[in-house]
Amino acid sequence: EVQLVESGGGLVKPGGSLRLSCAASGFTFSNAWMSWVRQAPGKGLEWVGRIKSKTDGGTTDYAAPVKGRFTISRDDSKNTLYLQMNSLKTEDTAVYYCATDRESYDSSGYYYYYFDYWGQGTLVTVSS
Amino acid sequence: SYELTQPPSVSVSPGQTASITCSGDKLGDKYASWYQQKPGQSPVLVIYQDSKRPSGIPERFSGSNSGNTATLTISGTQAMDEADYYCQAWDISTGVVFGGGTKLTVL
């Protein structure tokens, strides 16, 4: 059974930093592309960024609002995904979910990308 | 940047068919996915690659995508289907894009 368990959320002041963790089990983590998705209170889902597997280059991509402030990393030896958040703003207040990415090209050459498993989320509150 | 637009709310009577739309420029040229989120819970994938259902998702959930609109259809809607639903696609310039979400009310 796939399990994703986030931790590390809490209250932080504007301008501060926080590191979230996502412990994965039930699948081969080292082969997986992983994403962070957040949800502000009462709002919709917003993709934060992703990290590819090391065999696919281990590169990262970020949404515009967090680029340059957030960093996604992974430790395959610990089956753990991380989100380092710096220069936090009040608008970063949200529940942060980690999720497993599924992406590829179909037989017709069309690209698909979706999230098949999600963690329970961890709340980050940025407030003075 | 690429955007997906959903109606804020949809209402349906129990046993009837609910349709939730998701609009975006040439969305039919991309693959759409749909997620169900009940209050206080994490999102759950209900449709991927426009019309495929993950294991464990009831057959009453179906999807289609053509032109500028993807549609999630719930046939024989049950009270347990009351939730927020989000569409999602990938855009080469923007990356992952989610729609704003639709609150489905089963009256």
Contacting A residues, span 26-85, partner chain B, CB-CB under 8 Å: 35, 37, 44-47, 50, 61, 63-64
% residues pLDDT > 70 (chain B): 100
* B65 touching chain A per CB within 8 A: no
Residues composing chain B: 107
Least CB-CB distance to A44: which of B42, B86, B96? Answer: B86
Triad A88, A84, A20: Cα angle to 5°: 100
Confidence of residue A102 (pLDDT cuts 50, 70, 90): very high
Give B40's contacts (C-beta < 8 A, 6+ positions apart). none
- Summarised one tens digit per residue, pLDDT across range A49-58 is 999 999 999 9
Which residue blocks in B19-94 are alpha helix, DSSP H? Answer: none
End-to-end CA distance of chain B: 36
Supply the pLDDT for residue A110: 84
- Summarised one tens digit per residue, pLDDT across range B44-87 is 999 999 999 999 999 999 999 999 999 999 999 999 999 999 99
Give B33's contacts (C-beta < 8 A, 6+ positions apart). A112, A114, A115, B45, B47, B48, B49, B87, B88, B89
Q: Contact A98/A2 with Cβ under 8 angstroms?
A: no
Mean pLDDT of chain A: 96
